[in-house]
Amino acid sequence: MDSFPWYAHTIRRPMLLVVAMALLPVLQGCNPAYYASSVGGHIKIVSSSQPVDKLLERRDINPDLKERLTISREIRDYASEQLALPDNDSYRRYVDTGREYVSWAVYSSPEFSVGFNTWCFPIYGCVPYRGYFSESAAEKFAETLREQDMDVYVGGVPAYSSLGWFDDPLMNTMVIRGDVYLAGVVFHELAHQRVYVQNDSGFNEAFAVTVEEKGVEKWLRERGEDAVLKDYETGLQRYKDFQILVAETRQALARIYASGLSETDMRAAKAKEIERLRARYRRLRDGKWNGYRGFDRWFDEPINNARLATIGVYGDLVADFKRLFDLCAGDYERFYDAVEYLAQFESGERVEALQTASACMAGGS
């Protein structure tokens, strides 16, 4: 088993703790061209996939791929048998996409706002990104947003979910990142099939991240992978430290944007705050983290409102969901029932009910 692939790849693209955990609006679109591109991209991937069981029977299969697919089958069974996640054909077929990412997500924010722009799709509701199966198409759309003076971030996505409308395939983009990463993304994406609330990405992603992280910890513990589990937990703590830095920076930027300063002064204050974030990261890296440099690449790349906001989508409510999981005594069925109960609330009330819960709520009791 890999020593710590999940964290290594999360560091390369921190939003992939995420990003591995993102929903691509497959088969939906805002215009015919976008719709056709999404349909075509999805059909191409699905039609090229083959059953994992059949591939494992082949004598000419690459030994490394055989090992990965064997573990993927174990992970997929574990998800349904031990985590009470949907038992269907998702992630039981495999396809090599021939590239590092299966799709690309475009996020944007106004220059002086910590919020996201959103796009709305049938079934999926409104989400804070648009997904493309072509990197060049994603960059082309991103450029139109930059021309509107938006802060833009384009991120590669190794996996996506169709929310159970189709049997989502296992892809090389998932298995090349190691066993721990693979387990996490399978648990995460199947969680989206279990509970999904339209127009509430923060709720959906934090729920799926909770299922992912709790599931990976349980899986590693039951496999007796104590050293890997320790590394995984260390990685989660580092990521939590990183999220805190980003959250504090977003709060500071929100105050700047609400200050009434001129655009020129706000722009200068914004740049100063982002450089302060980099300096605070270096102190954290060289202090508490004992020189661990895994996030250097993230901080070396351009940072703007959109890039910062992606971190919040996947992390702001995770601690609240984990507390609810504990209130449900770690019982996955009770936990899912409680989350489904929360899903019936209106958005603001939903978050408040989650954050103030003192018991495993009605529906999960």
Alpha carbons 292 and 347: distance in angstroms, whole number: 38
Q: What is the pLDDT of residue 362?
A: 67
pLDDT band at 16 (very low <50, low <70, confident <90, very high): very low
Q: What is the pLDDT of residue 314?
A: 84
Q: DSSP state, 357? A: -
Q: What is the pLDDT of residue 8?
A: 36
Alpha carbons 10 and 316: distance in angstroms, whole number: 17
Exposure string of 75-107, with b = 16+ CB inside 10 Å and e = fewer, is bbebbeeebbbeeeebbbbbbebeeebbbbbbb
pLDDT band at 36 (very low <50, low <70, confident <90, very high): low
Q: What is the pLDDT of residue 15?
A: 28
Residue 143 three-state SS = helix
Is the pLDDT at 289 greater than 70, yes or no? Answer: yes
Is the pLDDT at 51 greater than 60, yes or no? Answer: yes
pLDDT band at 312 (very low <50, low <70, confident <90, very high): confident
List pLDDT tens digits, range 242-268.
999 999 999 999 999 999 999 999 999
List pLDDT tens digits, range 100-144.
999 999 999 999 999 999 988 777 788 899 989 999 999 999 999
Give the residue-averaged pLDDT of 29-56. Answer: 79
Give the residue-averaged pLDDT of 306-332. Answer: 94
Is the pLDDT at 28 greater than 80, yes or no? Answer: no
Q: What is the pLDDT of residue 303?
A: 98
Is the pLDDT at 5 greater than 50, yes or no? Answer: no
Is the pLDDT at 59 greater than 70, yes or no? Answer: yes
Question: Residue 361's CB: how many other CB atoms inside 10 A?
Answer: 20
Residue 51 three-state SS = strand
Name the one residue in this structure whose structure tokens are 């994992």.
52
Cross-strand pairs, 234: none
List pLDDT tens digits, range 158-186.
988 888 888 899 999 999 999 999 999 99
Q: Is 149 left (phi over 0), alpha (psi -120 to 50) or beta?
A: left
Is the pLDDT at 195 greater than 90, yes or no? Answer: yes
